[in-house]
Chains A and B, each alone.
Chain A
Amino acid sequence: MICVQDQRLAWHPGMTLDQVLDALEKGHLYAVVRVNGKLISKPFFAVTKVPDESIIEPLPLIAGG
């Protein structure tokens, strides 16, 4: 299992961050996500493998600055 924004989701081996966000409603809105304390940006979502028991926190960086 992994935890996304306090929700538990099923995990499978080889799972990428892209797949995690695809499974979320409006997951496309996220440009930056924190995976186990490390920031990952959209260009790297597809190549980032998510380990089991990961804690994933999307960042609300959308109109900041």
Chain B
Amino acid sequence: MKFTQRQTMQYQRPEIDKGYANQTLHVDVGDYSISVKPVPEKMKDTFIGGKGFDLWLMWQAVKSTTRWNDPENAICIASGPMGGTPAYPGSGKSIVTALSPLTDSVVDSNVGGYFGPYLKFAGFDALEIKGKSDKPVVVVIDGLDGYVGIEQAQDLPDDAYALSAVLTEKFARGKKRNISVVSAGPGAKHSYWGCLNFSWYDTKRKMVRYKQAGRGGIGTVFEDKNIKALVVRWDSVSLDTNRPADKDALRKVAKKHSKEIVTLDPKQNEMARIGTTHLVSIMNDFDLLPTNNFRYGRDPRSTLIDRDVYEKLFDPGFDGCWMGCTVACAHGVRDFIPMTGPYKGKSVFVDGPEYETIAGCGSNLGVFDPYTILEINFYCDAYGLDTISVGTGIAFVMECYEMELINQKHTGGLELNFGNRTAAMQLLHQIALGEGFGKIVGLGIRKMKKIFAGEYGADAAILEDIGMESKGLEFSEYMTKESLAQQGGYGMALKGAQHDEAWLIFLDMVHNFMPTFEQKAEALHWFPMFRTWFGLCGLCKLPWNDIVPEDNKDTPEPAKVMKHVQWYAQYFTAVTGRNLEPNGIIEMSEAVYNFQRVFNLRMGLGRREHDKIPYRAVGPVTVDEYESRKQRYDKQLIQIFGDGAADGTSEEKVAKLRKYRQDQYEQLKDAVYKRRGWTPDGIPTVATVKRLGIDFPEVLEVLKANGVTE
């Protein structure tokens, strides 16, 4: 391991004031420059922090013509004003943005670990990294010594698992808990599915742990810039470190929420014990567990990969990905021994799996072996790959193989049938190393569709139907076929098919709480806006509604968990000193949300046509799929078209249902756009951007260029 300093900057660390450092750090690894810029009040008022700050910095960094691998593409990382509060559960998130190689527009990803809070305490609300280095570099931010450095690095390990450990050791000066490392890995270099690993040091287990900023290929951008790692150093954290405006009020509200979680989590989702693994059996019971590329929603073998299995495998202990998070859901498996790859036969710690990984890399591949899922989870992290895109991407390839749209000539001999875990593992290693068929698969579903149709002669229409991506981003692991609202939750999500904006399946499909388009549109307004707010503040969404007050069901709108919304407003006020009522949260988020939609538009991605989803997400593509839910679909046809509608062949019924459901989805778009103050083409109106205070000349210019002048 050898480091050569290329640039250094000494700085005077500012005192944190009411959750803000009031300056941002800008590093260009191309010309080795480092600079600091102040954060104006207007930036805080409009963009709040976190994703809002990231987007604002990116807006200035890139042009409409910038592509993901141009030097001016920026990776921005920020926590938020509440980020780094140790007493309030879920207060250590970082939000990362960049132009994505998958979507060609801005993508955001939310991640745990200590980096974002330590960055702020080191003196910076956000970090922007641009340029491309000719040699691998490590960027070091030392908040204790007031030092930022760009160092050329030689002979460092490639994979994130080993790299985070050696860098933690090197920079810790004996206190490993003071270090957080961001790294990607070889998979990020060789595919478009690169994730970033954000580390923290687990003092009980005496090891480096990590969480992933998975979505959208930001790790790929990181590798393209030739950055090996970012390292931040900071010391102990208390309630005072963030200098809240009203410490007593903060302590009070934090205690309430934290105590409630400790009392109720064991009676509710038990996340401190089993993370999100309980969702496997629940999704299966409701016919919602993605199986064989979202073709089916259940499989009797799901019991082999459900919570009861992982509960036994998880290493017991406190697993918060930030200090004092009483939800503590970031579990892992100790002493796992991979059967393949560079760690074959060695004992490793696997951080995970979470539900998404189990469903994506398990049931969706027809793989019901918990150990294969662990091995995929481990290698995705070590290689710097997003488990969701890997799972959904390989599931697509497997279905193409089974449908004979591709064959062994294309796969290099891999027999990619559903359930073939050996082939899945081989393909994963190929993706990570940029070898064989893996090189093509790692480009993502959108590009695979083009290659399979254009070069392999596969039927383009069927590829469109079964390729589970929207805006270029692979779907996360929920079945949306029977929930129109959730189809909107995926299709109209700003960054592509991720469920973090809205998760409405139960409200819509199970409870039928929103039968009309207007009600669905209202939900597709409120939930995305409220969920956006977590990303502005440096917060995790899970404590909001995964553990709820016992009297929540007696409130007028239980799905919103308004008691917690009230607490969050108090929390914001206590930290920032800025008075916030629950309703104000929505308006705050709306400004950033609409700004991101305009950003998409600027990059060529923010219109109605871009909110389309594959038909597999809407209804049954194949006869076989129709027949697997025949009763449900026949009943629906009769309800819509009257007696006799369920007569005829399954092919005819598939076609009839398709026409109806696609039309419903278009009507939903109309309702949602109207509710959000957008044109029928899905563009925020001038009146909307004015109301939200984001009517900057550049924003108006983008709207005008797209024909929107009022």
Q: Which residue of A lies closest to B486 (CB)?
A: A65
Interface size classification for chain B: 20 to 34
Within 8 A of B (CB), among A42-65: 42-44, 57, 59-65
Are A60's CB and B285's CB within 8 A? no
Which of B307, B510, B560 touches A42 (beta carbons < 8 Å)? B510
Contact B503 A64 (CB under 8 A): yes
Hey, which chain A residues are within 8 Å of B281, CB to CB?
A: 39, 41
A61:B285 contact, CB within 8 angstroms: no
B511 near A29 with CB under 8 A, answer yes
Q: How far does the Cβ of B298 sit from chain A's closest Cβ, in whole Å?
A: 10
Smallest beta-carbon distance A31→chain B, Å: 5
Is B285 within 8 A of A43, CB to CB?
yes
A17 to B318, CA, bound (A): 34
Contact with A along B264-296 (1 / 0, CB 8 A): 000111000000001101100110000000000
- Cα-based distance from A14 to B269 in the complex (angstroms): 27
CB atoms of B278 and A60 under 8 A apart: no
**Residue in chain A with minimal CB distance to B509:** A31
Closest to A55 in B: B267
B550: interface (CB < 8 Å): yes
Instruction: List chain B residues, Cβ under 8 A from A62.
Output: 506-507, 511, 545, 558-559
A60 and B506 contact, Cβ closer than 8 Å, known pairs A29-B558, A31-B511, A41-B286? no
Residues of A within 8 A of B554 (CB): 25-26
Which residue in chain A gives the minimum CB-CB distance to B527? Answer: A63
Whether A60 contacts B547 in the complex (CB less than 8 A), given A39-B281, A43-B285, comes out as yes
Q: B505 within 8 Å of A by Cβ?
A: yes
In angstroms, Cα B561 to Cα A62, docked, is: 10
Q: Summarize B's interface: helix, strand, loop or mixed.
A: helix
- Residues of A22-43 whose CB lies within 8 A of B: 25-26, 28-29, 31-32, 39, 41-43
Contact of B282 among A29, A39, A60 (CB under 8 A): A39
CB atoms of A5 and B558 under 8 A apart: no
**Residue of A with least CB distance to B478:** A65
A59 with B553: in contact, given A29-B511, A39-B282, A65-B499 (CB under 8 Å)? no
* Cβ of B679 under 8 Å from chain A: no
Complex: A64 Cα to B276 Cα, angstroms: 10
Interface residues of B in 478-525 (CB under 8 A from A): 478, 499, 503-507, 510-511
Cβ contact within 8 Å between B286 and A63: no
**CB-CB nearest in chain A for B557:** A63
Contact B286 A43, beta carbon cutoff 8 Å: yes
CA distance A59 to B552 in the complex (A): 12
A-B contacts besides A60-B547, A62-B506, A64-B503, 16 pairs, CB < 8 Å = A5-B550, A25-B554, A31-B510, A32-B282, A39-B307, A41-B286, A42-B286, A44-B285, A57-B268, A60-B268, A60-B545, A62-B507, A62-B558, A63-B507, A64-B546, A65-B478
8 pairs from A and B in contact (CB 8 Å cutoff): A5-B550, A28-B511, A31-B286, A31-B511, A42-B286, A62-B506, A62-B511, A63-B527
Binding site for A on B (CB under 8 A): 267-269, 278-279, 281-282, 285-286, 307, 478, 499, 503-507, 510-511, 527, 545-548, 550, 552-554, 558-561
6 smallest CB-CB distances across A and B, nearest first, come from A65-B503, A41-B285, A60-B548, A63-B559, A26-B553, A57-B267
